[in-house]
């Protein structure tokens, strides 16, 4: 009955999705593999890619289709607007895209993938290389479960508790699938702009287990995939999407709540700045900021508003306040200090008239004599006074972001969204800064502590961070990889040509062929062009392969649309447009048979 129900739902839904049973069960549903396309930006490829095929691959370009076995080394270089592919004894110039499609292994075993350096991580999937602005543009199409193997151990350490890694796998899977947009050339990058993807390292066994044991589980909200934002550490309080990013959305599965798990975790990042009550050791950069805000008061009291004329003598009080968002937000963006201080000002020394007793005699004042002319006395330059205490203590309120944060070395990730608190001690005030990342959704450090210290399961972790989200299981059944035509297998023995093409396929009549089947040849195309053989008689049908000029085809029947015919060779069968074919004469046809 359960199997029948699953089958009925699969027929109704393009991608079946089922609720997760209570207690973290593992219900499964039939469906197609979900593929995501990753722009491999982190690799830093410019004009060259060195590829090691750790799997069997079909290589397709504008005028070439050939198969490369496991172990083949390829070099792809930018040559103007073209790509130059070199593999052992061949060299091919490619206009447009170069596609490497993973195929079933020649002798069993794992399908494998591509490595970008010897001994490097595995990139299991299909690689497309194009030229954009003179540089390589690598895009990897990869099954989402394989993709997670290269994300989870890098977004979280493979050493994290298993249940935390499971929660991470579900968040990463949900984020990836919600990012799929077929109107774009790729869905995500492999950097922190989306999710870090380093390829698959077989040593990350704990993360691989987490992916396997949560296979297909995603977060849903009101019938749609959720966007499971997560960050390294929220600093003790989760934030809301609308506080971090502009734009509207249905974010009812997020809440702003205190997070004691993140706060308790000793591995959650914290920065501290100590402001001693006697102001000893106050950073010069912070003193300069205080002086700047004190400028008017310094002038009023006759001091020069310069950093070298300002000194903090004592700090009597420090507090933070002014929540930027409504309660219960503890994101404060102002700091208030009460300080005692001194300043220096310019003082002009007044001249003093001094009379020596020797100038006075018993005989009275001597007769005046004509004095010799003298030069006028030079004006003495004003001099700075010593530091003088200000009239009263001063209370200042300063914006924390960004100057104070940086002056006190409290910035953690450069996002200017840290949660700042003050701890008062007998001889100092200690400012503490927490939060690494945006703070929305799951805290990875909080999940680590929930699983490791309190034994929480992945569904309990996710329920805490996404209280309005429902866990569901979607279909992720594996489809077999395509098996290429044997004639496309590349052998390094023959000498290469400038634009190599696979050998033309043979065509022989069989007893089961229709009596009116006729032999045709692909002729009405350009010499450097090809004709698409499709799986269906329509221009949106899947391209099975490209047929080249002079390829013989047995035409089995004309389709309902008379522009299309059903054809085959000894190796492949499909549909082509009849206007590109010429009928082979009976005499020539007999000679070929």
Q: Report yes or no: 217 and 145 within 8 Å, Cβ to Cβ.
A: no
Name the least confident of 7-16, 154-163, 346-355, 533-542.
Answer: 7-16
Q: What is the pLDDT of residue 304?
A: 95
Residues 437-460, mean pLDDT to the nearest whole number = 97
pLDDT higher than 90, residue 532: no
pLDDT band at 539, cuts 50/70/90?
confident
What's the predicted TM-score (pTM) here?
0.70
CATH 2.30.30.40 domain locations along the chain:
504-592
What sections of 250-294 are H helices per DSSP?
A: 260-264, 284-293
Each residue's pLDDT tens digit, 372-415: 565 655 556 678 999 999 999 999 999 999 999 999 999 998 88
The arithmetic mean of pLDDT across residues 419-426, rounded, is 98
Using CA atoms, how far apart are residues 246 and 244, in angstroms rounded to an integer? 7
pLDDT at 148 over 70: yes
Strand 57-60 versus strand 224-225 pairing type: unpaired
At how many degrees (to 10) do helices 162-178 and 444-452 cross?
150
Q: Would you place residue 481 in the very low, low, confident or very high pLDDT band (cuts 50, 70, 90)?
A: low
pLDDT of 379: 57
Average pLDDT (40-47) is 92
Tell me what pLDDT residue 361 has: 40
Cα–Cα distance for residue pair 229/219, rounded to 1 Å: 11
Superfamily of domain 504-592 in the CATH hierarchy: SH3 Domains (2.30.30.40)
What is the tens place of the pLDDT at every residue in 259-274?
Answer: 999 999 999 999 999 9
What is the enclosing helix (H) or strand (E) of 448?
helix 444-452
Task: Quote the CA–CA distance of 401 and 415 in Å, as a whole number.
Answer: 10
- Which stretch of 213-227, 354-368, 472-486 has the lowest confidence by average pLDDT? 354-368
Q: Which residue has the higher pLDDT, 176 or 528?
A: 176
**pLDDT at residue 406, rounded to an integer:** 95
* Least confident piece of the model among 28-42, 118-132, 190-204, 332-346: 28-42
Task: Name the residue with higher pLDDT: 311 or 22.
Answer: 311
Q: Is the dihedral of CA 256, 258, 264, 268 positive or negative?
A: positive
The partner residues of 340 in beta bridges, in order of sequence, read 314
The pLDDT of 507-522, averaged and rounded, is 90
Gap between the Cα atoms of 435 and 380, Å rounded: 57
Closest to 193 in 3D by CA, of 168, 217, 175: 175
Strand, helix or coil for residue 312: strand
Which residues on adjacent β-strands are paired with residue 332?
323
What is the 8-class DSSP label of residue 431? E
pLDDT of the residue at 295: 96
Q: Which one has a higher pLDDT value, 583 or 492?
A: 583
Q: Mean pLDDT of all residues in the chain?
A: 84
455: left (phi over 0), alpha (psi -120 to 50) or beta: left
- In the chain, the percentage of residues whose pLDDT exceeds 70 is 81
* pLDDT tens readout for residues 183-242: 999 999 999 889 999 999 999 999 999 999 999 999 999 999 999 999 999 999 999 999
């Amino acid at each position: 009955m359960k199997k029948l129900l699953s089958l009925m739902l699969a027929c109704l839904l393009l991608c079946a999705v089922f609720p997760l049973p209570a207690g973290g069960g593992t219900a499964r549903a039939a469906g197609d593999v979900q593929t995501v396309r990753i722009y491999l930006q982190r690799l830093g490829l410019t004009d060259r890619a060195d590829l090691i095929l750790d799997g069997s691959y079909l290589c397709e370009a504008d005028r070439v289709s050939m198969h490369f076995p496991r172990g083949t080394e390829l070099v792809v270089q930018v040559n103007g607007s073209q790509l130059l592919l070199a593999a052992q004894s061949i060299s091919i110039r490619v206009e447009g895209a170069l596609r490497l499609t993973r195929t079933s292994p020649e002798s069993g075993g794992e399908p494998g993938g591509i490595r970008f350096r010897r001994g490097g991580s595995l990139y299991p999937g299909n690689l497309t290389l194009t030229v954009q602005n003179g540089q390589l543009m690598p895009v990897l199409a990869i099954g989402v479960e394989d993709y997670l193997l290269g994300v989870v151990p890098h977004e979280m350490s493979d050493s994290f508790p298993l249940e935390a890694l499971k929660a991470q796998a579900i968040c990463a899977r949900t984020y990836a699938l919600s990012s799929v947009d077929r109107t774009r050339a790729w869905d995500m990058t492999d950097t922190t702009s989306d999710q870090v993807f380093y390829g698959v390292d077989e040593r990350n066994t704990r993360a691989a287990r987490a992916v396997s044991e949560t296979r297909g589980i995603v977060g849903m909200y009101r019938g749609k995939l959720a966007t499971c934002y997560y960050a390294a550490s929220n600093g003790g309080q989760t934030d809301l999407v609308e506080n971090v990013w502009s734009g509207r959305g249905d974010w009812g599965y997020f809440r702003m709540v205190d997070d004691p798990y993140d706060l308790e975790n000793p591995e959650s990042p914290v920065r501290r700045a100590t402001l001693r009550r006697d102001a000893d050791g106050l950073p010069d950069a912070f003193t300069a900021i205080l002086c700047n805000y004190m400028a008017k008061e310094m002038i009023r009291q006759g001091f020069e508003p310069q950093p070298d004329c300002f000194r903090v003598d004592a700090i009597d009080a420090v507090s933070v306040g002014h929540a930027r968002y409504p309660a219960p937000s503890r994101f404060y963006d102002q700091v208030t200090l009460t300080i005692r201080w001194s300043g220096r000002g310019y003082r002009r020394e007044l001249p003093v008239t001094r009379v020596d007793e020797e100038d006075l005699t018993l005989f009275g004042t001597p007769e005046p004599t004509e004095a010799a002319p003298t030069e006028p006395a030079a004006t003495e330059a004003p001099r700075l006074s010593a530091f003088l205490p200000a009239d009263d203590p001063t209370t200042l309120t300063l914006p924390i972001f960004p100057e104070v944060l940086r002056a006190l070395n409290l910035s953690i990730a450069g996002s200017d969204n840290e949660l700042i608190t003050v701890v008062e001690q007998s001889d100092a005030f200690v400012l503490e800064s927490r939060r690494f990342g945006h703070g929305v959704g799951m805290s990875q450090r909080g999940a680590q502590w929930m699983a490791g210290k309190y034994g929480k399961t992945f569904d309990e972790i996710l329920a805490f961070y996404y209280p309005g989200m429902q866990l569901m299981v979607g279909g992720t059944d594996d489809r077999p990889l395509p098996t290429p035509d044997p004639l496309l297998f590349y052998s390094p023995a023959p000498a290469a040509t400038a634009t190599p093409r696979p050998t033309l396929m043979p065509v022989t009549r069989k007893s089961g062929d229709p009596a009116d089947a006729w032999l045709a040849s692909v002729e009405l195309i350009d010499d450097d062009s090809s004709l698409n053989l499709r799986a269906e008689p329509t221009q949106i049908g899947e391209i099975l392969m490209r047929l080249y000029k002079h390829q013989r085809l047995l035409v089995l029947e004309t389709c309902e649309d008379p522009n299309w015919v059903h054809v085959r060779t000894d190796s492949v069968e499909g549909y082509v447009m009849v206007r590109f074919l010429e009928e082979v004469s009976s005499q020539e046809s007999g000679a070929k048979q």
